[in-house]
Structure 1
Amino acid sequence: MFDNDSNSNNPNKDKFAHLKAIAAGEVPTQQPTPWQHEVNNPLIGTIKGFGEFHHERFGLQRTIIVERENGEVVSAFMNAYIANGMEHHNAQPGDLVLIQLLGKAKSQHGNQYNEFQLYVEKPA
């Protein structure tokens, strides 16, 4: 009923062949380059996805994966403002995004914070 031997001996039938090749180092994978929020260096591109990881000191950290116009794939941290904006705009992979650090600003109470511009554009 099950013919496992024929699948393991025939790489064309092994649905895991590509993943096995990556694990063996035979196929390079493109890992996102970390991107830093900097004034006058906006992140503009197509959303490829979202991620998260647990940082020992800062807890859960959320990221966005973006393919820039030049094809470079980058990963950027999402602070609370950016993460909330992504949720508000229902940002999805395939959407266009602009994330721009505008600089430092002061709240009404005199606290200093990083001011961002966020824009999500749905494909036509």
Structure 2
Amino acid sequence: MGECTNLFPGVVAAKAGTHTAAQFLPGGKVPDIGDIRTQPALGRTLRRIARHGREAFYTGEAADEMVSILRGLGGAHSTDDFAAHSSDYVCSRSRRNTMITTWSSVRRTGRAWPR
């Protein structure tokens, strides 16, 4: 085992909410290095998003569940907040100059990717 494994399990468990603990503290403990984890609920959600697009995340069952969990933790989120979300899709572009590479985000338009 690595020397950092389970260094502060009590602190992690105390700060984790029930839903977080269920995902990241299997059996109520910090996993050991090399443990294999699965997340079937996440897999189902990702498959729904792949089939139905962004609406599967921002509206419907996924949004309802996230709002319920967040409100239970004291959040003020609503399903309308999720449904109203919009994003700008960007691609990154780099330029190398001597020994430095700089990166910038370029807004993607309806046309081909910026050159």
TM-score where L is the length of structure 1: 0.19
Where relative contact order (Cα < 8 A, 6+ residues apart) is larger, the structure is: 1
More strand by share: 1
